[in-house]
């Protein structure tokens, strides 16, 4: 017998313990979501009556009542959110990719200084620029329109996505640009025919994060969209809550469940691009 020698651990036991821990964490994370889905199929007076996921009395009345909120149909809120989200995704992908190409491939005065300033904007809390932005958009008569939520996306204001795509473009061989330049391509041709097709993972990551953040945004629409016919899904969900205590939680849970469908669908479509984009954007 050799003293001081550690006994080898059984890999099967380690694998079972690891998977049990992962399953436990997954259950803890998913339980509130599954409970909300189950509560959407309970009568409103039984919404908080149990911690069980499966409803005792199954009903779809919450979906019928929630879909026809007030004088407006909830489909109007979905349409408003969809228009704003699609425009924000298009704007971010176009503007941030062009800005990233400039920082990654072009040479111009004060390039490093401007890149550092651009990264510095990520350190500013959103609330710091909230009042100046509101004053500016109010002077432009953009209040009660979607322009404050959409136009900035076409001006490359999201520094994180610019940085993400700069890191990705820097991983692409410079020889591809040289070969395209020898074939007569300028910067526009290189960007459109070489960089964009090879940057699909980074573009997909940008589109996915922009879609999620814009669809879930509540503060921006709350500030700039006052009329109910311009409300987004987040504002529509807030309409179910009443400060007097007459909140309709059943319809709220029903519409909240439906509001998750576009996010889940978009994620399932773009998850491969998300993994590739994050995995390759940090390479040197």
Ranges of each domain in the chain: 11-60, 64-281
* Residue whose pair of structure tokens reads 């350190």 in the numeric block: 123
Q: Structure pTM?
A: 0.85
* Inter-residue contact 157 to 88 (CB < 8 Å): no
**What is the per-residue pLDDT for 92?**
95
Q: Dihedral sign, CA of 77, 78, 83, 85?
A: positive
CATH number of 64-281, picked from 3.40.50.10470, 3.40.50.720, 1.10.3720.10, 3.40.1280.10: 1.10.3720.10
State the Cα–Cα distance between residues 110 and 42, nearest whole angstrom.
Answer: 61
Q: What's the pLDDT at 282?
A: 46
Q: What does the pLDDT look like over 212-254, one tens digit per residue?
A: 999 999 999 999 999 988 999 999 888 887 655 566 888 889 9
Structure tokens, 90: 């298009």
What is the model's pLDDT at position 75? 87
Environment class of 96 (CB within 10 Å of its CB; exposed 0-12, middle 13-18, buried 19+): buried
Which secondary-structure segment (H or E) carries 109? none
Please report the pLDDT score of residue 56 as a whole number: 80
What is the pLDDT at residue 65? 86
**Cβ contacts of 47 within 8 Å, gap of 6 or more:** 39, 249, 250, 253
Asked if 262 contacts 82 with a C-beta cutoff of 8 angstroms, the reply is yes
What tokens were used for 87?
């425009």
Question: What pLDDT does residue 284 have?
Answer: 42
Point out the residues of the chain with pLDDT beneath 70: 1-9, 70-72, 242-247, 273-284
Closest CA to 157 of 107, 201, 210: 210
Closest CA to 156 of 164, 168, 144: 164
Q: What is the DSSP string of 227-284?
A: SGGG--HHHHHHTT--TTS---HHHHHHHHHHHHHHHHHHHHHHHHHHHHHHHHHT--
From CA 122, how far away is CA 46, in angstroms rounded? 44
pLDDT tens for 46-55 read 778 778 888 8
Helix boundaries (H) for the chain? 11-39, 61-67, 74-105, 111-120, 130-139, 147-150, 159-170, 174-182, 187-190, 196-198, 200-216, 219-224, 233-238, 249-281
Q: What is the pLDDT of residue 145?
A: 93
């Amino acid at each position: 017998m050799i003293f001081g020698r550690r006994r080898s651990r059984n890999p099967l036991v380690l694998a079972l313990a690891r998977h049990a821990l992962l399953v436990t964490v997954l259950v803890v994370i998913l339980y509130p979501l599954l409970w909300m889905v189950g509560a959407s199929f309970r009568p409103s007076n039984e919404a908080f009556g149990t911690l069980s996921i499966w409803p005792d009395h199954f009903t779809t009345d919450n979906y019928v009542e929630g879909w026809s909120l007030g004088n407006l149909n909830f489909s109007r809120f979905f349409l408003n959110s969809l228009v704003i989200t699609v425009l924000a995704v298009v704007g971010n992908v176009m503007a941030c990719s062009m800005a990233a190409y400039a920082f990654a491939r072009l040479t111009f005065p004060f390039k490093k200084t401007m890149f550092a300033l651009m990264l510095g904007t990520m350190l500013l809390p959103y609330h710091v620029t909230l009042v100046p932005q509101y004053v500016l958009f109010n002077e432009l008569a953009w209040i009660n329109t979607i322009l404050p939520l959409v136009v900035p996306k076409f001006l490359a204001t999201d520094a994180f996505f610019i940085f993400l795509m700069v890191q990705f473009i820097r991983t692409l061989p410079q020889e591809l640009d040289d070969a395209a330049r020898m074939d007569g391509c300028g910067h526009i041709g290189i960007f459109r025919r070489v960089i964009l097709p090879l940057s699909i993972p980074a573009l997909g990551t940008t589109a996915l994060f922009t879609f999620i953040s814009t669809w879930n945004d509540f503060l921006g629409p709350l500030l700039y969209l006052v009329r109910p016919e311009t409300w987004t899904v987040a504002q529509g969900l807030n309409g179910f809550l009443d400060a007097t205590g007459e909140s309709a939680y059943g319809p709220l849970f029903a519409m909240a469940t439906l509001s998750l469908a576009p996010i889940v669908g978009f994620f399932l479509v773009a998850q491969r691009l998300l993994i590739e984009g994050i995995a390759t954007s940090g390479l040197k």
